[in-house]
Amino acid sequence: MALTLAEAAKLSNDVLLQGVIETIIYDSPVLQVLPFIEIVGNGLTYNQESQAPTVAFYDVGDTWAESTPTFTQQTATLKILGGDADVDNFLSKTRSNIQDLEAAIVQLKSKAVQQKFDDSFINGDTSSDAKAFNGIDKLCASGQTLTMGQDGGTLTLEKLDELVDKIKGGKPGMLLMSKRSRRKLTALSRGSGSGIMEFDRNQFGQMVQYYSGIPIGVNDWISDAKTVGVSTDCSTIYAVCFGEGAVAGLTAPGGLQVERVGSLETKDASRTRVKWYVSLALFNTLRLAKLIGVRN
């Protein structure tokens, strides 16, 4: 069964690990909801659904036509994400009365892991970095890609609705965009006077914007300087469904790990390692879409 990081944290008795997970998911709307499937081995070969089966009405005695989903075999390989956090023993002993130095340093390392995952979730490309995994920009099928125009264009509510409609089998679980695109969408909503933008608190107590009931997630790694045609100031908006039949994370058994390496030989310090054997899979191409060429 797939679990989110938040659910995994509740099952752990490791206080340090719980703190690391809380740090990682706090500022990441994706990691708050993305489920992870534990796999044994270094990768997963799966059948990606690219076309749904069809049915029809028949008269008595008609010949029935067979129709099955179209699948494409894909392979996702686990990648190693993480880093070491060294705590100087002298500082730990002399300054621990001010704050827990180890917890602060591990927290900063955890934040770096979160930022690297969020970046890779969008922009990961194994053709340019074989050590990373493919992100949703690379995984999105060409048939699920919309554009604002040959040279991009200003976002409209009609085009955003068209993006939402690209998702089959229900609404997207999230609309992912840059802060600039979020500001433009907010302005469009105010200008329309339709009240299509709503606010509510999520399970972590944070205020979240909704567009037609779909949560809006902001990702700082979505560039506003992409090139479409002759325009170099374009951004992308993603419509994403999360789950085992859509976009899901892959992880080794145990998920995110915090490992105490211990005292170091070459310096007077103790090391803690934050590591994650992780990847990403898209099980159904119709559950992910993107709108490119979004200009300000």
For 27, 121, 123, the CA distances from 83, given in Å and listed in that order, are: 19, 18, 20
In the prediction, which pLDDT does 281 show? 96
pLDDT averaged over every residue in the chain: 91
Mean pLDDT of 117-123: 97
Q: Mind listing the pLDDT tens digit for each residue in 100-109?
A: 777 788 888 9
Tokens of 149: 């125009």
For 135, 163, 268, the CA distances from 51, given in Å and listed in that order, are: 21, 18, 59
Confidence of residue 96 (pLDDT cuts 50, 70, 90): low
In the prediction, which pLDDT does 97 show? 59
Under DSSP, the state recorded for 255 is -
Alpha carbon distance 6, 18 (integer Å)? 9
Confidence of residue 208 (pLDDT cuts 50, 70, 90): very high
In the prediction, which pLDDT does 2 show? 82
Tokens of 13: 């008795």
Is there a contact between 263 and 145 (Cβ–Cβ < 8 Å)?
no
Tokens of 133: 């995994």
Alpha carbon distance 170, 173 (integer Å)? 9
In the prediction, which pLDDT does 173 show? 96
Confidence of residue 66 (pLDDT cuts 50, 70, 90): confident
Threshold 0.95, pTM exceeds: no
Alpha carbon distance 290, 171 (integer Å)? 14
> What is the separation of C-alpha 234 from the centre of its chain, rounded to a whole number of angstroms?
20
For 11, 26, 69, 208, the CA distances from 205, given in Å and listed in that order, are: 21, 10, 40, 9
Is there a contact between 273 and 79 (Cβ–Cβ < 8 Å)?
no
Contacts of 13 (CB under 8 A, 6+ apart): none
Q: Mind listing the pLDDT tens digit for each residue in 184-206?
A: 999 998 887 766 888 898 888 88
Q: What proportion of the chain, given as a percentage, has pLDDT over 90?
A: 60
254 against 81, higher pLDDT: 81
In the prediction, which pLDDT does 178 show? 98
Under DSSP, the state recorded for 150 is B
Confidence of residue 264 (pLDDT cuts 50, 70, 90): confident
Is there a contact between 122 and 292 (Cβ–Cβ < 8 Å)?
no
Going from N- to C-terminal start, the domains of the chain cover 5-51+69-134+245-282, 145-241+288-295
Q: Which amino acid is at 1?
A: M
CATH of segment(s) 5-51+69-134+245-282: 3.30.2400.30
